[in-house]
């Protein structure tokens, strides 16, 4: 029997976020006797030589480049993608992210004979910035052959948008625990001193809620004068956060360190992991913190309560409420033994529910299902 050929299509402009990390962790876990997996990234700010495409190539993976960054170039990009799909005879075109969904859906339809799978890494409220884009995203999602929701929350959001129930499956994101442990063991000098030491990882975007964590730090530092927060990530909110840090007189208490390749090693050194998101359909950084045996303080938004068990693997608090966040963090820091126990529980939950091989096996079942009746398969 022919191998099922899968093309992962992304639209990553810069850096490596949750989606990119997931695809990289999954890349060597497929049953390669059954599947042939390739990648294509659109809208790269570095002209095809961004961090993510280069990370794919460094692993020996097939990564195609289709140039173009502007809206005016989209017709040419679609035409190039149609040629690629036809030439490579992909059985499944697997779309991630909004721009990839729009361009990829149209191209796959024009190419014909390929099945479209869309993973919804975001909810409708986080879709297009305009009403027109959001409507287009909904339409293309409904017309896909199968839609994967990364949480039950996202699944319910899709049902609310009248996506047929039979087309949807829930596949939780996963973490490569073995690779995570190997990275965590890498020697790295202690760069930050603090007692206690807090950490948060995520793109510097408004939806990640860094603003509220910064505001909470004023109360945390008042209770623990040596407390220090490490913020790993990059994004458009950097300047605003730097300004807020200065306004709060927290320059010595908060370090914004940008993109950090070895998040595992960084998390190893923190006492508590904090995830203050306003919107979060899932949260791979939370899984990494659990893999590092860290108690997680997170906001009870969207898919987060499906990951963090309140009082079991961490604590959930109200989104957009700096005072509540500070109180939860301070209470946790005052109970170090309980924090260590919750961290161990989090690691056990990661092993049981969120190990990356479980994610890959689920996607393989989706690929087999959608391609089983594809014309030309035997």
Residue 270 has pLDDT above 60, yes or no: yes
- Please check whether residue 42 is in contact with residue 100, taking contact to mean a CB–CB distance below 8 angstroms: yes
Sorted by where each begins, the domain ranges of the chain are 4-174+356-371, 178-353
CA-wise closest residue to 100 among 61, 141, 60: 141
Question: Model confidence over 61-103: pLDDT tens digits?
Answer: 999 999 998 889 999 999 999 999 999 999 999 999 999 999 9
Q: Is the pLDDT of residue 202 over 50?
A: yes
**Span 189-200, pLDDT tens digits:** 446 666 899 999
Tell me the backbone φ, ψ of residue 8, rounded to 5 degrees: -85, 125
User: For the segment 112-152, what is each residue's pLDDT rounded down to a tens digit?
Assistant: 989 999 999 988 775 556 788 888 999 999 999 999 999 99
Q: Read off the pLDDT of residues 47-60 as tens digits, 9 standing for 90 and up.
A: 888 889 999 999 99
Unique residue bearing structure tokens 């409507």: 135
Q: Could you tell me the pLDDT band of residue 188, with boundaries at 50, 70 and 90?
A: low
Pick from 15, 76, 17: nearest CA to 45? 15
d(CA 209, CA 322): 10
- Whether the predicted pLDDT of 377 surpasses 70: no
Q: Which CATH class is domain 178-353?
A: alpha beta
Q: Is the pLDDT at 1 greater than 90, yes or no?
A: no
Sign of CA dihedral 111, 117, 119, 122: positive
Same topology for domains 4-174+356-371 and 178-353, yes or no? yes
List pLDDT tens digits, range 145-174.
Answer: 999 999 999 999 999 999 999 999 999 999
Q: Which of 22, 86, 10 is nearest to 53 (CA)?
A: 10
* Alpha helix stretches (DSSP H) within 89-190: 98-111, 131-143, 152-160, 177-184
Query: How does pLDDT run across 337-372, given as a tens digit for each residue?
Result: 999 999 999 999 999 999 999 999 999 999 999 998
Superfamily of domain 4-174+356-371: Glycogen Phosphorylase B; (3.40.50.2000)
235-263 mean pLDDT = 93
């Amino acid at each position: 029997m022919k191998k099922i050929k899968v093309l992962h299509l992304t639209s990553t402009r810069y850096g490596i976020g949750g989606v990119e990390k997931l695809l990289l962790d999954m890349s060597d876990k497929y049953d390669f006797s059954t599947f042939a997996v390739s990648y294509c990234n659109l809208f790269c700010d570095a002209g095809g030589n961004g961090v993510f495409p280069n990370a794919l190539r460094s692993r020996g993976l097939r990564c195609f480049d289709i140039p173009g960054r502007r809206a005016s170039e989209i017709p040419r990009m679609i035409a190039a993608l149609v040629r690629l799909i036809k030439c490579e005879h992909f059985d499944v075109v697997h779309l991630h992210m909004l721009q990839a969904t729009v361009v990829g859906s149209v191209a796959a339809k024009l190419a014909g004979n390929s099945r479209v799978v869309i993973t919804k890494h975001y909810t409708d409220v986080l879709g297009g910035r305009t009403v027109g884009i959001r409507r287009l995203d909904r339409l293309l999602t409904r017309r896909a052959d199968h839609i994967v929701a990364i949480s039950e929350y996202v699944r319910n959001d899709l049902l609310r948008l009248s996506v047929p129930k039979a087309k949807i499956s829930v596949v939780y994101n996963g973490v490569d625990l073995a690779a995570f442990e190997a990275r965590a063991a890498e020697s790295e000098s202690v760069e930050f001193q603090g007692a206690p030491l807090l950490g948060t990882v995520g793109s510097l975007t408004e939806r990640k809620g860094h603003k509220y964590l910064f505001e909470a730090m004023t109360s945390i530092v008042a209770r623990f004068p040596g407390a220090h927060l490490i913020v790993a990530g990059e994004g458009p909110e950097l300047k605003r956060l730097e300004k807020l840090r200065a306004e709060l007189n927290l320059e010595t208490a908060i370090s914004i360190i940008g993109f950090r390749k070895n998040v595992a090693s960084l998390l190893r050194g923190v006492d508590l992991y904090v995830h203050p998101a306003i919107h979060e359909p899932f949260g791979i950084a939370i899984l990494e913190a659990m893999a590092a045996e860290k108690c997680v303080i997170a906001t009870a938004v969207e898919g987060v309560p499906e990951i963090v068990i309140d009082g079991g693997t961490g604590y959930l608090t109200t989104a957009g409420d700096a005072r509540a966040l500070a109180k939860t963090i301070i209470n946790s820091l005052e109970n170090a033994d309980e924090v260590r126990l919750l961290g161990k529980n989090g690691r056990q939950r990661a092993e049981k529910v969120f190990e990356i091989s479980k994610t890959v096996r689920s996607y393989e079942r989706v690929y087999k299902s959608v391609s089983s009746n594809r014309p030309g398969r035997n």
